Amino acid sequence: MRIEENKSLKGYNTFGIDCSAKYFVAVTSVSELQQILSEEKFNNRFIIGGGSNMLLTKDIDALVIHLNLKGKKVLSETDNTVTIQAMAGENWHEFVQYCINNDFGGLENLSLIPGNVGTAPIQNIGAYGVELKDSFVSCDAIEITTGKKRTFTKEDCNFGYRNSIFKNEEKGNYIITSVTFQLTKKDHKLHTGYGAIQEKLTEKGIKNPTIAAISEAVIEIRQSKLPDPKKLGNSGSFFKNPVIDSEKFQQFKINNPKAPYYELSPSEYKIPAGWLIEQAGFKGKRFDDAGVHKNQALVLVNYGTATGDEIWQLALKIQQAVKDQFDIYIEPEVNII
């Protein structure tokens, strides 16, 4: 393990923000991770997985640990299902593709989500009617203060919409080292009803889609709306879609009869933040190198040299404009560091 000093983190966060780490180390095994956690000299640590859900607004005055844990293995199989474990440092999309190539079903709707396997449970990644929790079995994690291993079951994780125990009670306490999934080997449960998937399949003339066809449809939809972080720095949806109560919703509907919405229950309604931001006039806007994506207003982008603070100031401006126009508070989905 080589510890570097004053290392730029530009290549380690998908926003491409050029902040630096006082110390930096990449670990390639769980034992290396435990070893570095036991070193008292570095009792201030900061973990980076895929760097896909964070906005760095300052240099990190700590030891940044980059999780480079690789590997995947089938733990058990039945005629219908397979239980598979992937290490935290595996790229999420490559893992999804591996599953599809082996005809393991369950993750196809989550194709092309940026980031790594180990960070996926933290915010319970989701897209097109499917969430990570739907095929999640458990994850192994190391407690930062003790270096001890703990297995979190699905119940332990307390998953919600873009939410889990790792964003609440256990925030900053554990490092996820691997995730175990249960996937289907046959009779795959296909989710084609949400968003633009059915439309895309019809457009392609596909009547009985395979999981590979769904994955391809999702990839095409995402590529048409969401910028590729390798080409344009971004962190996917910057805000969560807000949930409002029925009283507020009734008024919202009267004022905005054409607004899209999802009824979660008779007392809760989710409004797409992208729509609110577009109505507030920010879609496609650019302020120096910080901007709002032209095809999806929920995504903030770094055109090259924006600082984390410039992006954060833009986010605050958007938040205020949406509040002023709709009296709705939109909360960031990404972690602001």
Known catalytic residues are: 162, 237, 333
Q: How many whole angstroms separate alpha carbon 278 and alpha carbon 137?
A: 38
- 275 near ligand EPU, judged by CB under 6 A: yes
> What part of residues 111-140 is at the interface with ligand EPU (CB under 6 A)?
127-128
Report which residue's Cβ sits closest to ligand EPU: 236
CB 59 → ligand EPU: shortest distance, Å?
25
Report whether 322 contacts 223 (CB < 8 A). no
Residue 146 DSSP class: T
Given candidates 50, 229, 233, 236, which one binds ligand EPU under the rule CB under 6 A? 236
Helix residue ranges, H only, 4-82: 30-37
Residue 150 has, within 13 A of its CA and on its CB side, a CA count of 15
Backbone angles phi, psi at 80, to 5 degrees: -105, -25
Paired with 207 in beta bridges are: none
Report whether 119 contacts 49 (CB < 8 A). yes
Give 85 or 319: the residue with its C-beta nearer to ligand EPU. Answer: 319
- 233 near ligand EPU, judged by CB under 6 A: no
Given candidates 298, 314, 318, 330, which one binds ligand EPU under the rule CB under 6 A? 298
Residue 190 DSSP class: -
CB 260 → ligand EPU: shortest distance, Å?
4
Residue among 69, 60, 70 at smallest CA distance from 18: 60
Give 7 or 162: the residue with its C-beta nearer to ligand EPU. Answer: 162
In three-state secondary structure terms, 50 is coil
Given candidates 297, 314, 315, 318, which one binds ligand EPU under the rule CB under 6 A? 297
Give 56 or 298: the residue with its C-beta nearer to ligand EPU. Answer: 298
Mark the segment that binds ligand EPU (CB under 6 A) among 15-23, 80-88, 97-105, 272-280. Answer: 272-280
- 300 near ligand EPU, judged by CB under 6 A: no
